A = this chain, B = another copy of it.
Amino acid sequence: MDQTTPRLLRALAGETLDRPPVWFMRQAGRSLPEYRELRTRAKDFISFCHDPEMAAEATLQPMRRFPMDAAIVFADILLIPGALGQEVWFEAGEGPRLGPLPEIAAMRDAVEGSTAKLSAIGETLKLVRAELEPERALIGFAGGPWTVATYMIEGRGSMREEARSFAYAQPEKLDALLDVLVDSTARYLVMQARSGAQALKIFESWADNLAEDVFERIVIRPHRAIVEKVRAAGVTAPFIGFPRGAGALVDNYAAAVPVEGVALDTQASAALGRRLQAGGKTVQGALDNLLLREGGKALDARVETLLEQWSGGPYIFNLGHGVMPDTPVEHIARVVSRVTGQPVKAFGLQGAGVA
């Protein structure tokens, strides 16, 4: 692949690079003081996500501070339920809340119009792409259908026992809901790719604790369907699948879902990553976000271990979970500097312009 192609895309094309590209889940957001300042200007979190100027600024903030190889559009996995007609809001300090689950038939009817309701995210992508250097990639994303469904069923983020029971008690209804989500998510990702997203990530945050047959039915099958639908629309952007917590079932996932990259969570073993690489996948992960927050020699040592264990194949350096809000910016800078070999200048607010 051309040397001017962004490093992230070269890794996702299967190249083993001289050093892995790096970006961090939740690199934009609450860990940055400039984000917290920006956030005060929006009346609520959902409005913030639907405001292209502000969302683009949030997307770019970490790119100004750190030599990250990729930006990820600032948005939320719960924008899709909103576009399908379910009320979504955020309680300060408590997380998302959702209104009653609409009828499946009503949501199915809403799928066709759902992408238009998410057009602001396309605008955000265009604004970011226009400002971002060409060697830095732009990632679009959506939530995995099962994860989004758990919020839609339970009305909030919780233990998901209710949603897991729903998978057994009302399998036809869950499958119908997942089908609606597959369809709307595929359309949303196609729109994101056409608006400038160069790679697409599916965040299946609640892929843990599922039996093998259920995992096949509610995670693997929907992911495969999304990738196939997006490909059928002519989009060639590579996919990163993130079945968080899938542990013993990650091999099943990698074998069955035609994603280019598999994001591994904190638990990933060296052997698992190497197995995926040998099977033709690009591996992403898996630094512990608690260790990033803690810092110190243990962090430095773990970064070296990760680089050593996976740099022999296609690899994207990242966390196993999102940056925690109280993570010192210096810790992020130190790790990114180590991986990229570039000094990181801006530790303060200097140079971090706010729209």
Contact = CB atoms under 8 A, between A and B. Distances in A.
B291 A267 contact: no
A208 B267 contact: yes
A288 interface: yes
- Chain A: number of interface residues, binned into ranges: 35 or more
A212 B269 contact: yes
A286 B298 CA distance: 35
Contacts of A213: 302, 305
Contact of A320 (B211, B215, B250, B298): B211
A335 to B, nearest CB: 14
Contacts of A267: 208-212, 215, 246-249
Interface in A42-82: none
Interface in A155-184: 161, 164-165, 168-169, 171
Given A248-B250, A302-B213, A165 B270 contact: no
A290 interface: yes
A16 interface: no
Contacts of A171: 298
B168 A294 contact: yes
Contacts of A291: 168, 211
Interface in A186-245: 208-215, 245
Contacts of A268: 212, 248
Contacts of A214: 288
Contact of A290 (B168, B265, B298): B168
Contacts of A133: none
Contacts of A265: 209
Contacts of A250: 247-248
Contact of A298 (B161, B164, B168, B272): B168
A30 interface: no
A211 B267 CA distance: 5
Contacts of A247: 208, 245-250, 267
Contact of A212 (B168, B212, B270, B294): B270
A311 interface: no
Contacts of A249: 247, 267, 269
A213 B213 CA distance: 30
A251 interface: yes
A293 interface: yes
A333 to B, nearest CB: 19
A342 interface: no
Nearest to A305: B213
Contacts of A298: 168, 171
17 contacts: A168-B288, A168-B290, A168-B298, A208-B208, A209-B265, A209-B267, A211-B288, A211-B320, A212-B267, A212-B268, A212-B270, A247-B249, A247-B267, A248-B264, A248-B269, A248-B272, A252-B269
What are the 7 closest A-B residue pairs judged by CB atoms, nearest first? A247-B247, A168-B294, A247-B248, A211-B288, A248-B272, A212-B269, A248-B269
